[in-house]
Amino acid sequence: MNKHVVAASLLALLGGSAHAQATRMMMPEGTYDLVFGVAVQRTYHADSDGRSHGEVVPALEVQWSNGVFIDANVDEAVLGVHWSDQPMLDYGAMLSVSGRDQRSDTPGARGGMAMQAGGFVNWHVLYNLDVGGELLAGGGYDRGGLLGNARVQWSTPLAAHHGATLTVGAIVGDHTWMQGYFGVTPAQAASGGNPAYRAPAGVLNIYGDLEWQWQLGNKYWLFTGARISRRGDGPAASPLVAGRDYFTLRTALTYHF
């Protein structure tokens, strides 16, 4: 049930997601940028006896001068378009497709595909300070509900070819989205053995990211980062959730064509 959160983290890691980059007016007409990368990630769950899991994730990012972009990795594919030509305010629409988690306590249910549609906005408050987020609809377990992500991002150079970025944010969902992934209906309780639980709308998790960027050459970048996440009160109280806090380490190598 963490696919949306993981995918967002990896897209941000791999050079910054396309909807957070410079607006289309920064690119010469008829041009495009293409970035390919591979990321290695391991997540540690603080409240589950040291349990952890890792994954290797390939990713592809393409940005065209007309504002259209594609971000794709093994978990999620995002198609979007920048509508703004302003250097300080970027906004637009996006559509994401990913695998849908399957619940073991819902007989006959299948994972299938999850599709979310919505928009994004990014305000460049200062040259190194951004405030932004996304709002997506339709991606809940029952193909309904809203999921939002709000964040503040600060970056600074460290040395020649080195930089760092600090991001603090929160992911929130409405009752429909939360209930699909964290709630337990009476029917699910009867078949799965967990007590019934009504998941409220609210914070899915709050997170803090610290990332180091190293330009290895004209076309190669190395990104290394860590994320600390804490689930909100609603998801943390769900009988489906074993722990509230988790810590993620990740490294990505990208090539800019």
Q: Read off the pTM.
A: 0.83
Domain count, the chain: 1
> For residue 162, is it left (φ>0), alpha (ψ between -120 and 50) or beta?
beta
CA dist 242 and 204 (Å) reads 15
Chain centroid offset of residue 216 CA: 25
What average pLDDT does this structure show over 103-118? 70
Task: Flag whether pLDDT at 130 surpasses 50.
Answer: yes
Share of the chain above pLDDT 70, in %: 82
Spell out where the chain has E strands.
32-45, 52-64, 68-73, 76-82, 89-99, 113-126, 129-137, 146-159, 162-173, 202-215, 220-231, 245-256
pLDDT at position 8, please?
Answer: 41
CA dist 244 and 72 (Å) reads 28
What average pLDDT does this structure show over 28-40? 87
Antiparallel, parallel or unpaired: β 220-231 and 162-173 = unpaired
Other beta carbons within 10 Å of 11? 25
| Residues 251 and 57: beta-carbon distance below 8 Å | no
Lowest mean pLDDT among 93-107, 159-173, 231-245: 93-107
What average pLDDT does this structure show over 219-224? 95
Which pLDDT band, with edges at 50, 70 and 90, does 129 fall under?
A: very high
| Residues 70 and 62: beta-carbon distance below 8 Å | yes
| Residues 163 and 213: beta-carbon distance below 8 Å | yes
Three-class DSSP category at 196? coil
Other beta carbons within 10 Å of 142? 10
Other beta carbons within 10 Å of 174? 17
pLDDT at position 105, please?
Answer: 67
Tokens of 38: 């591979």
Write out pLDDT tens, residues 142-182: 778 899 999 999 999 999 999 999 999 999 999 999 998 89
Q: Which residue has 């951004």 as its token pair?
A: 130
| Residues 11 and 75: beta-carbon distance below 8 Å | no
| Residues 51 and 45: beta-carbon distance below 8 Å | yes
What average pLDDT does this structure show over 75-87? 87
Distances 204 to 14, 162, 236 between C-alpha atoms, Å? 23, 33, 9
CA dist 253 and 13 (Å) reads 10
| Cα radius of gyration rounded to whole Å, the chain | 19
Q: Who wins on pLDDT, 194 or 222? A: 222
Task: Flag whether pLDDT at 212 surpasses 90.
Answer: yes
| Residues 82 and 90: beta-carbon distance below 8 Å | yes
CATH of the domain at 182: 2.40.160.40
Other beta carbons within 10 Å of 56? 9
Domain that holds residue 189: 3-256
Task: Flag whether pLDDT at 11 surpasses 50.
Answer: no
Task: Flag whether pLDDT at 18 surpasses 80.
Answer: no
Tell me, what DSSP letter sits at residue 80? Answer: E
